[in-house]
Structure 1
Amino acid sequence: MPGPFFITCAIDRKCFRASAIVAGLFFLIAFPTATVVAQQKTGRDPFLQQLEALRQQLKIPGMAVAVQRGDTVLLAEGLGYADLDRHIKVTPQTAFGVASIGKTFTSTLVMQLVEAGKLRLDDRVSQYGVYPGNPDITVRELLTHTSEGIPGTWYQYNGSRFGMLGPVLEKITGMPFYALLMERIIMPLQMTASAPPIPLDQYYDYRKTNPAVTPFFDTAFFHATRPYELDNQGHIVKGQPFSFGAFGGLVTTVADLLKYGAAIDRHQFVSAATQAEIFTANRTSTGVITPYGLGWFVQPYRGDTFYWHYGQSSGQSALFIKVPARELTLVVLCNTDKLSQPFPLGDGDLLMSPVGQLFYRSFIRQDVDDLFRNKERIVQASIALLNGDSAKATKLYAAYQPPRTPGNPGVPQGKRIAALVDVGVNKELSSPFRLAHATTLRVYAVGEDCAGDGSFWCDAGWIEDRSGKVLWEMKGHTGVHAGGAAKNQKVDTLITLPAGEYTLHYRSDGGHAYNNWDSLPPDDLFWGIIVMPADK
């Protein structure tokens, strides 16, 4: 029987013809040009043992993994279950939704048009009938996640805005995005177990005009996993059908993604110069280097450069890493979002992924620095919190060794008029204070700047007078880096208030906060706001 059912396939199990494929034969077909040195019986491999432990800790029902060096597939393995009800195990042939890994395919399609002279990266997308809120937003800004706020000035990962590139491609080519993906990448590469999860009516119309696509859809959905998610009690339940677009959502296998990775290495779809441009970290209009190139994350670390992407959506998550200098490619695919969801990978740090950390220690180098160890502690604390073990998380935070950012004098000491400190997630705190006379105050606050320019803080404080009028707030202030993750920002300023009664406020969201850090915390592990006399 077919595996999971995407979009309207959830209702019609006959939506794709089931192909009878012998698993062993399929495995050989899947790796036609690579030497396979490890298949199923690699349970003693330390990397796989640790990966299996992570799968269980993250409550992921099923996972597939493959690692390739040069032309040699070092391992290709299935862990756990593709279908819990029918006890169907994951194999290397199991197909998964890969969510935002698809952005790398969109990037390739965009850059093919750029090479063909049909599109320029600095074209405004409005000229193609796409309106993301500002008529001056360009293709480059959507492709590099720099289209929000004042376009080009700061990076903010946003999958839905990236997806607006789909209508641009369709306008230029006159083809649906799914057809572009199939006919320009999937079919030429013979990624025979890959297909987009499009609605049935689109599929039936498409195979009438191009019957050659039929076996790709048949194979992909015959071998596809069911999507799962965790409910509020942490129980595994069936997930929702996958969505698809230029933002991602392709259904594919680890073997097919290795084919795609190899095609990138040999510059099959774009020139070496264009691929180098794709793999170059973007700079904002002010010259700040972002963690993202043209559809790929770009991360140098200790002499190696990692080109990677993650995927995360309901019922699917994935990690795709390339290290060309070492001829290494890693693919990990899962049937819940938990490979990615507890970790802020959109911030652009591969080493905040537990699988990224495991890959680094297993295939790059075992000797790591203090920064790496700190990231391991934070990631392990996030996993502990996912499993409801706050005591373990607290111990890991206690073991964290905060560095000292040059020029950071630390949290001010002295008499406090009011303070809200050690603020955890999902808090809305307040503290009243009274001034007997007009007073110049020092306000010191650390929070999460989600906009990068101070226009929107996820965690922030403010001061109100007795009537509830806001007299001062972090919003609108451009912060200074407080150490750790870039989003940790502090505001240290002086204000003067007349005599009267006031209330100090601080609000946090459900993410990064005190003793619930999803990224590296600030140097002093301070999260909150202090009001004190200015002369102190």
Structure 2
Amino acid sequence: MFYRSSALFALFLLSVSTLRAQSSRWDSANFRSFETKLESLREKYHIPGISVGVMHGKTLVWAKGFGYADLENKVVPDENTVYQVASITKTFGSIILLQQIEAGKAQLGDPISKYGINLGARWGSDPRIKIKHLFTHTAMGNVWNAYKPGYAFRYNGSWYHQLDAVIRKASGSTFGQLVTDTIIRPLGLMRTAPSTGDSASFALSGFDRDTYLSWTAKPYDWNKKKKRLDTVKNFRYGFGPAAGLMSTVADLAVYSAAIDEKRFLRPETWEQAWTPFVTERGKKVQYGLGWFVTRYKGVKMIWHTGWWMGYSALFLKVPEKDITFIILANSQDVSRPFYHIVQPIPGFFGMHNPFHRNLKNKVQASKFAKAFLDHFME
């Protein structure tokens, strides 16, 4: 009887300890510590401004801006500040394309030639290259497999953009119109729109361009030689299923909650999107259908980065813990420092994966992501 009581008491203490640990993640002291870490990282990587949000469940429980959205005028960003979200757009593109597939208007196994896609060079409209290969960044192959599709992960945003042709032919509409009618307006996203650099697509938003730009963080780039932040000028931000959406932390939080509710797609389709692609040799890659899918300490991470001239972003979901992290920046350096891209020499010790042990392979390579995981996942 004594041993049974002791065991029950130990179980009670463990439960209390677990509850305290869970509650401490959401107390003010933890958020203050997290803020200090983020500000330290922002300064270390010379980022002018960031907007950050943390979600617990479907609620944006904390949001804050750091630094400046406009250095010259000392404008402090917040959760409603607009940024180019770059490749986070791919998650929206994934939804739109998967809707066409659910409707039977396209198939993952369709050859790219069916949609008039020509990738140029050695690839062209090779009938072996399927829609699924562009979708999962496995179309390029490498020198070891004669560049056959389906054998290796090689991230290629330009080729992902080619899925626009599939969306157009399958739906009879443009990606801009579909993303506006299917996601932006139904969710009531207040400041999400196609890039101001694409006038026809941006017009779908109904926003006045000058007003919208006044909400937008100015883009900067760190000049290493002169050790200063320079304003990015005369760079055209295009638009398509691979990149070009402009949004805010507040809007992406609403989008994240809709994903948690399994809106837009069937539950089994969401599961397919969040399942790593398996190569012809049976190896799982770190990408599903428009999402990175990796594990950290045994826990599944669903995420995407964004990286473009003057902007960078990270959108990270941890379904098992019911938490989401959103960070948007007006320089490249929420993403750039953590890629560690090397330029492999073709045929010299092989075309090795240039994204080994970096942000294209594991989300915790990002010090911003690691700070979030350390504060809210443990």
Q: When the two structures are superposed, what TM-score results if normalisation uses the length of structure 1? A: 0.57
Cα distance between partner residues in 2 of 1:93 and 1:152: 40
> Please, which of 47, 54, 69 is the counterpart of residue 60 of structure 1?
47
2:257 aligned residue? 262
* Residue correspondence of structure 1 range 129-140 to structure 2 within 5 A: 129-132=116-119, 133-136=124-127, 137-140=129-132
Q: Does 1:166 align with 2:159?
A: no
Question: What do residues 500-525 of structure 1 show as CA deviations (whole Å, max 9, x unaligned)?
Answer: xxxxxxxxxxxxxxxxxxxxxxxxxx
Q: Does 1:50 align with 2:37?
A: yes
Greater helix content: 2
Q: Could you tell me which amino acid in structure 2 is paired with residue 313 of structure 1? A: W
Superposition CA RMSD, Å? 2.1
| Contact 2:198/2:237 (8 A) holds in 1 | no
Cα gap change, 1:201/1:223 in structure 2, threshold over 3 Å: closer, same or farther?
closer
2:11 aligned residue? none
Cα distance between partner residues in 2 of 1:138 and 1:115: 17
Report the CA distance between 1:72 and its aligned residue: 3.1
Question: What do residues 336-358 of structure 1 show as CA deviations (whole Å, max 9, x unaligned)?
Answer: 11111121255321011001111
Question: What do residues 33-88 of structure 1 show as CA deviations (whole Å, max 9, x unaligned)?
Answer: xxxxx9xx999711111001101101000100000101332211111111111111
Report the CA distance between 1:215 and its aligned residue: 4.1
| Contact 1:193/1:217 (8 A) holds in 2 | no
Rg comparison, structure with higher value: 1
Q: Secondary structure at the match of 2:109?
A: coil
2:296 aligned residue? 301
Q: How many residues align?
A: 320
Question: What do residues 304-362 of structure 1 show as CA deviations (whole Å, max 9, x unaligned)?
Answer: 11100100111110000001111111100000111111212553210110011111110
> Please, which of 228, 253, 263 is the counterpart of residue 235 of structure 1?
228
| Contact 1:154/1:284 (8 A) holds in 2 | yes
1:115 aligned residue? 102
| Contact 1:194/1:216 (8 A) holds in 2 | no
Query: RCO higher in 1 or 2 (8 Å CA, sep ≥ 6)?
Result: 2
Cα gap change, 1:81/1:358 in structure 2, threshold over 3 Å: closer, same or farther?
same
| Contact 1:242/1:315 (8 A) holds in 2 | no
Q: Does 1:96 align with 2:83?
A: yes
Cα distance between partner residues in 2 of 1:154 and 1:44: 40
Cα gap change, 1:218/1:264 in structure 2, threshold over 3 Å: closer, same or farther?
farther
Cα distance between partner residues in 2 of 1:112 and 1:79: 37
Stretches of structure 1 lacking an aligned partner (at least 5 in a row): 1-37, 208-212, 366-536
Question: What do residues 121-155 of structure 1 show as CA deviations (whole Å, max 9, x unaligned)?
Answer: 11112111111224221110001000002111111
Q: Does 1:214 align with 2:206?
A: yes
**Structure 1 outlier segments of 4+, above 6 Å:** 41-44, 216-219
Q: Could you tell me which amino acid in structure 2 is paired with residue 350 of structure 1? A: V
> Please, which of 328, 338, 349 is the counterpart of residue 343 of structure 1?
338
Cα gap change, 1:336/1:329 in structure 2, threshold over 3 Å: closer, same or farther?
same
Q: When the two structures are superposed, what TM-score results if normalisation uses the length of structure 2? A: 0.80
Cα distance between partner residues in 2 of 1:232 and 1:290: 34
Report the CA distance between 1:172 and its aligned residue: 1.9
Question: What do residues 414-442 of structure 1 show as CA deviations (whole Å, max 9, x unaligned)?
Answer: xxxxxxxxxxxxxxxxxxxxxxxxxxxxx
Cα gap change, 1:44/1:255 in structure 2, threshold over 3 Å: closer, same or farther?
closer
Stretches of structure 2 lacking an aligned partner (at least 5 in a row): 1-25, 141-146, 340-357
Cα distance between partner residues in 2 of 1:269 and 1:219: 30
Q: Secondary structure at the match of 1:83?
A: coil
* Residue correspondence of structure 1 range 487-506 to structure 2 within 5 A: none
Q: Does 1:289 align with 2:284?
A: yes
Q: Secondary structure at the match of 1:230?
A: strand
Cα gap change, 1:42/1:217 in structure 2, threshold over 3 Å: closer, same or farther?
farther
Identical-residue share of aligned pairs (%): 36
> Please, which of 78, 96, 105 is the counterpart of residue 65 of structure 2?
78
| Contact 1:100/1:247 (8 A) holds in 2 | yes
Q: Could you tell me which amino acid in structure 2 is paired with residue 266 of structure 1? A: E
